[in-house]
Amino acid sequence: MEVKIRYGYFDNINREYVIERPDIPVSWTNYLGVKDLCTIISHNAGGYSFYKSAEHGRITRFRPNGVPLDRPGHYTYLRDDETGEYWSISWQPVGKDLERATYQCHHGLSYSRFICDYFGIHAEQLLFIPINDDVELWDVVIKNTSDKIRKLSIFSYLEFSFQHIEIDNQNLQISLYASGSSYKDGIIEYDFFYEPWNYHFLASNFDPDSYDCVRDRFLGNYRTETNPIAVERGECHNSTELGGNHCGSLHKRIILDSGEEIRVIFMLGVGSREEKGRMIKHKYSDFKNVDNAFNGLKEYWQEKLSNLQVNTPHQGMNTMLNTWTIYEAETCVVWSRFASFIEVGGRTGLGYRDTSQDAMSCIHTNPNKCKQRILELLNGLTSMGYGLHLFDPEVFKSQKDQLPGVKLPTVKPTPKQEDIIHGLEDVCADDALWLVATVCEFVKETGDVAFFDKVVPYADKKEGTVYEHLKKILDFSADHVGQNGICQGLRADWNDCLNLGGGESAMVTFMHYWALKIFIEAAKHLGRDDDVQKYTAMADKVKKACEDLLWDDKWYVRGFTKTGRKIGTQESIEGKLFLNAQSWAVYSEVASEKRGKMCMDAVNDHLYSKYGLHLLWPAYSKPDDEIGYVTRVYKGIKENGSIFSHPNPWAVIAECILGRGDRALKFYDAILPYSQNDIIEIREAEPYSYCQFIMGKDHTAHGRARHPWLTGTAGWFYMAATKYILGIKVNFDGLVIDPCIPKDWKEFQVQRNWRGATYKINVKNPHSVMKGIKSIRLNGKLVECPISPQKSGSVNDIEVIME
Ligand code: GLC
């Protein structure tokens, strides 16, 4: 019999995921911080902090992929000073017997709370970062639940990291001698002697009884975080040092009567003791300020989320859309894709395609950050019309915004702006096309039409309006076609491992058509008729090429190698059918209804599994370098026939366009993390986060999910579900409502804020259809779509009847 294992549950009231069993086989993480300071923390309080950049701004150290899991972290130890018994508030690092101690971890929106009951003591440790201060607060409450007086010691522990991760990992002759620690007035300061503008500190709301800044003094020789000597003996050594490995441990002895509790605050901050440390210590020693900061964070998320809330008959969809999927999408936009337990800080900056896609999904919840990302990407576009595949937007900032000019002796030379402009051989054919949709989406959401005429520099030379940037992107794709007239695949297309070079990519051509349509709509809105004509002619040509060359009797091919071989055709033995070629044929609206249905039926027949849709079938087993690296990946993993998550929502969108709501939901459900809450023995990864991929059916671990959080899946599933299943979209001049739902849904509601007005949308489906609208009433009056924007501040009822 199959054993079903779950480790926790969704608490919808508090918007938390509550972990009741901490002995999960992998790390289940959360992100703290919404501006510049970030901590990635596991369900066992393991993890690391950084300021602005996970590569250059490291604050605490982490040993990724280590044994034991998730070390070190941001820990609080408790010790019974009468018996010497000690433990940590998070299960690890001390790791008490789960038969005798109970632990919970509540991962919430930008906070995590660890709860422990052991030895007659109830303890909580809440970690969060206030919106407006660069400090991580540890709000610790300890309660004596036994019937006698207790003498206890509390210790904080974290390990400081050299600020530059590569030096910290690889160049110990710098990292061990260029940073030091000191202690004064209850504040530990970690300094970088070379960079006297760079400091981190740890403070608390109490006068410590002892402290340690030297890691190996705190831990002791041949010990680990599991059994630190300082905790074992009940006192730190008051150690500091110039050079070496540093930690932050502040120790306090307390006495609690039976039933009595005490609250203690630790503060891990950015800045020097004098400039920031004292101020922060003073401010957050007042519990009112801690409470206000935490409430501020809760309100921040509440306000964001109130911009779109759904109530459907599907509990999993409600939980994921209302909280977790948008939270994940925002995380990708705010922190980019290079800080997690998988990407541990070796890279910095923005992936062109990833960021463009992420930034289109949460404009309604984070318009400012999305706008910043869009401008950075526009700046990362070359005057030829291709995007820099991976670049650090900092290089485009003027010198005065950058750090003071003292340079570490062994850091790699700072690249000049012109050094980072790569040539055609490194262009990914899809990269910039995404941005066309993202920019238009931004204007539709915000109504900021003038944005099209904003002047932005190109990465290499000159400048142009945003609108001109978009034209260059479309022209680049038109100019870079292969022998058949289909867009060249270049270094890669969306699929990093499909390396076609001068061969041709169906997906990019479908995307080109899609981006053209979106652009033409904008040009019409702006009244730029010449461009409407020019790009309509281009779009017609692209569509014809697709329909003439890419259809393969039952489905669309994925492309052609540079020697003209078809990829993803009936005759192929491996890689016969590719998901993206089908979903994008339909999503771009290149495919006729008939072909669309046929190719998506093939997807259902050959790519579907109960954990989601496979990226291709059958997986490759023989290297074929004309197709690319995908043929050298193990079968069933990542791009070679895993259930790559990111393309799954495109198939959902395709089914919605075809009007098949039941099928759309079937695809949505299969991969929904929420639905896998009780099969963690198979999934392993967090059930509140989409993962980059799930092992495919050709792999022995079919169903195992890997690489949580930083995947375009979240943003795209959010868009697929809200805009295509629930069918609530905004365009330049109004709100469009066009749902495609399972026929057994009787009704659903969506509340959407748009350009200052609120829309309470109630959709009824009395005739059990999947698609089609009979009538729409706005505040009681019959209207047609698009519904023009209503007055800012107004609250509007919209009733929709499907038929
Ligand atoms: C990874 C990359 C993304 C790419 C995908 C498929 O998720 O971040 O850019 O599209 O893999 O190769």
Q: Which residues contact 355 (CB under 8 A, 6 or more apart)?
A: 333, 336, 337, 373, 376, 377
Task: Give, rounded to a whole angstrom, the gap between the first and last alpha carbons of the chain.
Answer: 44
Atom of ligand 1 nearest to the CA of 639: 12
Could you tell me the distance, in angstroms and rounded to a whole number, from the CA of residue 388 to the centre of ligand 1? 15
Question: In this predicted model, what pLDDT tens digit does every residue of 756-797 receive, in sequence order?
Answer: 999 999 999 999 999 999 999 999 999 999 999 999 999 999
Query: Which stretches does DSSP call E strand in 398-533?
Result: 455-457, 463-465, 488-490, 501-505
d(CA 490, CA 295): 49
d(CA 596, CA 546): 13
Residue 401: the pLDDT is 52
Work out whether strand 86-88 and strand 75-80 pair parallel, antiparallel, or are unpaired: antiparallel
Atom of ligand 1 nearest to the CA of 498: 12
Query: Hey, whose CA ends up nearest to atom 10 of ligand 1?
Result: 494
Considering only CA atoms, which of 174, 185, 168 is closest in space to residue 58?
168
Considering the candidates 496, 669, 678, 738, report the single residue annotated as catalytic. 496
Could you tell me the distance, in angstroms and rounded to a whole number, from the CA of residue 672 to the centre of ligand 1? 19
d(CA 681, CA 668): 21
Please, are residues 614 and 697 in contact by the beta-carbon 8 Å criterion?
yes
pTM, two decimals, is 0.97
Work out whether strand 37-42 and strand 121-128 pair parallel, antiparallel, or are unpaired: unpaired
Query: Which amino acid is present at 228?
Result: P
d(CA 700, CA 179): 47
Could you tell me the distance, in angstroms and rounded to a whole number, from the CA of residue 715 to the centre of ligand 1? 14
Both structure tokens of 648: 């799954």
Could you tell me the distance, in angstroms and rounded to a whole number, from the CA of residue 420 to the centre of ligand 1? 21
Q: Is the CB of 639 under 6 A from ligand 1?
A: yes
Atom of ligand 1 nearest to the CA of 351: 9
Before 72, cis peptide (omega within 30)? yes
Residue with structure tokens 């701004």? 57
Considering only CA atoms, which of 142, 385, 371 is closest in space to residue 257?
142
Residue among 358, 494, 639, 716 whose CB has most ligand 1 atoms within 8 A, to mutate: 494
What angle do helix axes 367-379 and 325-335 make, rounded to 10 degrees?
40
Q: What is the DSSP letter of 611?
A: T
Considering only CA atoms, which of 439, 301, 421 is closest in space to residue 357?
439
Which residues is 310 bridged to in the sheet?
750
Please, are residues 364 and 754 in contact by the beta-carbon 8 Å criterion?
yes
Query: Which stretches does DSSP call E strand in 20-74?
Result: 29-32, 37-42, 47-51
Q: How distant is the alpha carbon of residue 242 from its chain centre?
A: 38
Q: Is the CB of 580 under 6 A from ligand 1?
A: no
Considering only CA atoms, which of 498, 518, 501 is closest in space to residue 568?
498
Atom of ligand 1 nearest to the CA of 430: 10
**What separation in angstroms does the CA of 96 have from each of 77, 89, 99, 641?**
12, 10, 9, 41
Considering only CA atoms, which of 377, 383, 391, 397 is closest in space to residue 420?
391
d(CA 396, CA 387): 14
Q: Is 605 exposed, middle or buried (0-12, 13-18, 19+ CB in 10 A)?
A: exposed
d(CA 219, CA 232): 10
d(CA 109, CA 331): 10
Q: Is the CB of 494 under 6 A from ligand 1?
A: yes
Before 208, cis peptide (omega within 30)? no
The question of whether 81 is a catalytic residue gets the answer no
Both structure tokens of 714: 């979240």
Atom of ligand 1 nearest to the CA of 712: 7
Atom of ligand 1 nearest to the CA of 707: 7
Question: In this predicted model, what pLDDT tens digit does every residue of 510-563 receive, in sequence order?
Answer: 999 999 999 999 999 999 999 999 999 999 999 999 999 999 999 999 999 999
Atom of ligand 1 nearest to the CA of 337: 8
Could you tell me the distance, in angstroms and rounded to a whole number, from the CA of residue 615 to the centre of ligand 1? 12
**What separation in angstroms does the CA of 725 have from each of 218, 321, 730, 767?**
55, 12, 14, 17
What stretch of H or E contains 326? helix 325-335
Q: How distant is the alpha carbon of residue 432 from its chain centre?
A: 20
d(CA 622, CA 67): 35
Q: Is the CB of 495 under 6 A from ligand 1?
A: yes
Q: Is 666 exposed, middle or buried (0-12, 13-18, 19+ CB in 10 A)?
A: middle
Query: Which amino acid is present at 447?
Result: G
Both structure tokens of 412: 């790699």
Query: Hey, whose CA ends up nearest to atom 3 of ligand 1?
Result: 354
Q: Is the CB of 354 under 6 A from ligand 1?
A: yes
d(CA 428, CA 435): 13
Residue with structure tokens 């019309």? 385
Q: Is the CB of 638 under 6 A from ligand 1?
A: no
Please, are residues 37 and 51 in contact by the beta-carbon 8 Å criterion?
yes
Q: Is the CB of 343 under 6 A from ligand 1?
A: no
Query: Hey, whose CA ends up nearest to atom 8 of ligand 1?
Result: 354
Which residues is 526 bridged to in the sheet?
none
Could you tell me the distance, in angstroms and rounded to a whole number, from the CA of residue 462 to the centre of ligand 1? 30
Please, are residues 362 and 741 in contact by the beta-carbon 8 Å criterion?
no
d(CA 220, CA 243): 18
Please, are residues 506 and 556 in contact by the beta-carbon 8 Å criterion?
yes
d(CA 787, CA 794): 14
Please, are residues 708 and 693 in contact by the beta-carbon 8 Å criterion?
no
Residue 144, phi then psi, degrees to nearest 5: -85, 105
Q: Kindly report the number of other CB atoms within 10 A of residue 634's CB atom.
A: 15
d(CA 265, CA 252): 11
Could you tell me the distance, in angstroms and rounded to a whole number, from the CA of residue 184 to the centre of ligand 1? 48
Q: Is the CB of 351 under 6 A from ligand 1?
A: yes
Before 68, cis peptide (omega within 30)? yes
Residue 406: the pLDDT is 62
Residue among 352, 388, 496, 580 whose CB has most ligand 1 atoms within 8 A, to mutate: 496
Considering only CA atoms, which of 187, 236, 192 is closest in space to residue 216?
236
Q: How distant is the alpha carbon of residue 632 from its chain centre?
A: 27
Could you tell me the distance, in angstroms and rounded to a whole number, from the CA of residue 668 to the centre of ligand 1? 20
Q: Kindly report the number of other CB atoms within 10 A of residue 522's CB atom.
A: 22
Could you tell me the distance, in angstroms and rounded to a whole number, from the CA of residue 642 to the centre of ligand 1? 13
Look at the chain and count its residues.
Answer: 803
- DSSP of 94-133: TT--TTT-EEEEEEETTEEEEEEEETTEEEEEEEE--TTS
Query: Which amino acid is present at 48?
Result: Y
Both structure tokens of 198: 């760079």
Segments of the chain scoring below 50 in pLDDT: none
Q: Kindly report the number of other CB atoms within 10 A of residue 691's CB atom.
A: 24
Residue 691: the pLDDT is 98
Q: Kindly report the number of other CB atoms within 10 A of residue 223's CB atom.
A: 15
Helices vs strands, H then E, count in the chain: 20, 41
